Amino acid sequence: MKKLVYIALILFSAGTVSGQELKKEYQKFIQTFIDNIKADKKTEVAKMISYPLTRENPIPSIKNKDEFVKRYSEIFDDVLKKEITSSKADKDWSGMGWRGIMLNRGTIWFDTDGKLTGINYQSKFEKDLKAKLIASQKTKLHSSIANFKEPVYVLETSKFRIRIDDLGNQNYRYASWSIKKKMSEKPDLIITNGKWTADGSGGNSKFDFKKGNYLYECYIIVLGTSDSPPATLTIYENEKEILSQNAKIVPR
């Protein structure tokens, strides 16, 4: 999920920052990618991917080359392949500075080392799969939190398990349990009307949930130091910090 937040931020930035003409050295590997897609050379395309390749939550990320080859057609349908194969490396692909290289308005992203880092496109297969996975998740949750639009994160600290869901219209829900409990049990705490905020342009972000005099802040760290945790939970009472714990992001 960390990558998804980063990609979303890149897309936001891409809409406000003009692209640069793609350097000749970058055009070479972009053209190789276009040619590989045109010939459906799945194994060759797999070599150009930066793993894990994140798919939209809750679809599992693609972990390695073998898995990519197996799932290739789930992502690269006729629509996406047409967009790629009809593109021109010197016209439709743009350098976006440290953000990388993008196709059109960000459908595909590469880094400057020639590795594909993001695919912001969802085939009909993936849309259907996402719907099935979300429906399955809902059957395994306590009834009090079984209704939501999309799952966002599951975080675990040393004491708590936290689930963040998107209820729609930028309304996020916080549900938490003691770490020993399961999500099929009734949550110890549920807070709705949470807000998401981007923090800088590196991909970091936070979710704020307010209840009475308390503020629960879930901070997601994409760009940090070598010893930064994936996330943190900080609780404030009347703006005074009363608890802070590192959190891991539970794989989907």
Residue with tokens 């800088």: 200
pLDDT per 10-residue tile (average), the chain, 252 residues? 44 50 94 98 98 94 97 98 97 92 96 96 97 96 97 97 96 98 98 94 90 97 90 97 97 70
Q: What local confidence, expressed as pLDDT, does residue 8 receive?
A: 44
> Within 13 A of 187's CA, how many CA atoms are on the CB side?
19
List, in order, residues 6 or more apart from 185 with CB less than 8 Å away: 142, 177
Cut 0.85: pTM above it: no
Rounded alpha-carbon distances, angstroms, from residue 106 to 15, 110, 121 = 9, 10, 9
At 50, which helix (H) or strand (E)? Answer: none
Distance CA 54, CA 64 (A): 11
Note the Cα 178 to chain centre separation in Å: 26
First to last CA, the chain: 9
Q: What local confidence, expressed as pLDDT, does residue 18 receive?
A: 53
Rounded alpha-carbon distances, angstroms, from residue 179 to 1, 108, 144, 219 = 21, 38, 18, 19
